[in-house]
Each structure stands twice: as structure tokens, then as C-alpha cells.
Amino acid sequence: MSMLSLQNIAIRYNKVPAVHDVSIEVEAGEIVALVGGNGAGKSSALRAVAGLNPVAAGKVVFNGVDITQVPAHQRTGLGLSLVPEGRRLFPKLSVEKNLRLGAFTRRDAAEIEESLDYAFTLFPILKERRQQVAGTLSGGEQQMLAIGRGLMAKPRLLMLDEPSWGIAPKLVTKILDTIQQVNASGITILLVEQNIKRALEIANRGYVLQTGRIVLAGSGRDLLDNPEIQKAYLGI
């Protein structure tokens, strides 16, 4: 049984279809990437898993439980955590407050401190800036904080929406390395990226979306070697 399975989901915005009949499986321990161009429906699908978009058809099953009708705020407690597109930090609150809000669903104070230490180990810069207001961080630091905040929920599945968006290429490497590091610690990763090459490099498997449908699926390596992908997205 896979950890997450999207079964034939369809998503519409005011009746305008954005995703048609998409099925995705994520096994425990994997890094899975959803890639594709602008408006392909990647983020829509991810937000449906997080519960932020209602699905018009199909099912979302997490660890064998149908969560299609579970409201967003209750999915966090089940072990799902979303690092949203554009970071969506709380700009007027400090780095530490942002992180602590990430642990909203948890009660054990000692465990929360442990997670806070973990976030600071992953991103030491956040420890230096812990009292600084989140809105004043650089783009890369904000992304680190968003990932740290997502991890504070102690998820089993961490979902990242465009983590490379708007940050320097050098930091993209650092962030993708950290995502692999997080994955190695036992957290399953579902990643949405427009930066197709970088995403497929770290992914075990990938799905290519185009205008709301899955057009290709396979291992990260195979997709990178696929001539169609190279032609359409990688400019090779």
C-alpha cells in the first residue's frame, strides 16, 4: 500500500477545469516530483492533497484512509505538511514564532524543542536570525524558514510547492540538498517544481503534467533521459 494515492482526481476553479483524471502514487520513503510548465495543474494537485482545493471528482487516500473530505487543518495532524508556493510566512512574526506556529498541532513541549533544534541544525542561519522578523529575510532564507516551519509539524509526508522559486541558483542547490537530507531522515517528499532538471535529479520518481493531465511518468533518471522531455523542457 502506498503512503499517498491520488485516485482519478479532477479539480475545477469555478467550473473551469484545471486538473483532469490525475492519479499519483507516493510510496513511503520516496522523493516524488510533479513537474511541468506553468498552469499544468501541479500546484492545484498538491493543494488538493493539503486540503486547500476541493476536488470535483476522485479520491485522496493517505495511509489507507480516504481523506478527500477531511478539512485542511485536520490533515496536518494526520502527518501531512505543506510548504506553500511563495513561502507564505507570517511576515510580522519572528523566525522563531513562525517555526513554533508550525508545531501548532503538537502538544509535547520537549519534542517541539527537539524539532526546533532539528530545523536549526538543517538551517543554522535561522538560529542566528531567530529573533528577526520573517519579512526582513532574504528569499533563500525565507524558503529555509518555510521548510523549517513545515517540518515543525513532524510530518510523515512533506509537500513542497516550488521551493526554488525566486532564489539564487547557489541556494537552490543548498535547498535541494537539504530536501534530500530530510528525506534520508525518513520523511517522504512530494515536490512540485518548474525547475524540472533540478527536481528530477533528486527525485526517485516523477510525473510530468501538461494542461491538467499526466503525460509521462517514470523514474527521475528515465525522465531526464527522455528525448521528449529534453526537447520540450530542458532545451537540449
Is residue 2 within 8 Å of 25, Cβ to Cβ? yes
Which run of H or E residues covers position 114?
helix 109-122
71 near another protein (CB under 8 A): yes
139 near another protein (CB under 8 A): no
205-210: strand order across its sheet: 80-83, 157-161, 188-193, 31-36, 205-210, 213-219
Site for another protein in 141-160 (CB under 8 A): 149, 153
Out of 76, 142, 188, 195, name the contact with another protein by CB under 8 A.
76
Out of 81, 143, 164, 195, name the contact with another protein by CB under 8 A.
81
Is residue 62 within 8 Å of 77, Cβ to Cβ? no
Residue number, 68 or 214, with CB nearest to another protein: 68
DSSP assigned state of 24: E
Out of 3, 6, 40, 82, name the contact with another protein by CB under 8 A.
82
232 near another protein (CB under 8 A): no
Residue number, 72 or 184, with CB nearest to another protein: 72
DSSP assignment of 37-64 equals STTSSHHHHHHHHHTSS--SEEEEEETT
Q: Shortest gap between Cβ of 207 and another protein (angstroms)?
A: 21
Q: Shortest gap between Cβ of 112 and another protein (angstroms)?
A: 13
89 near another protein (CB under 8 A): yes
The amino acid at residue 174 is K
Residues 6+ apart with CB under 8 A from 16: none
Q: Shortest gap between Cβ of 233 and another protein (angstroms)?
A: 28
CA distances from 73 to 82, 102, 210 (A): 11, 12, 29
Q: Shortest gap between Cβ of 71 and another protein (angstroms)?
A: 8
70 near another protein (CB under 8 A): no
The residues binding another protein (CB under 8 A) are 50-52, 71-77, 81-82, 84, 88-93, 97, 101-102, 104-105, 149, 153
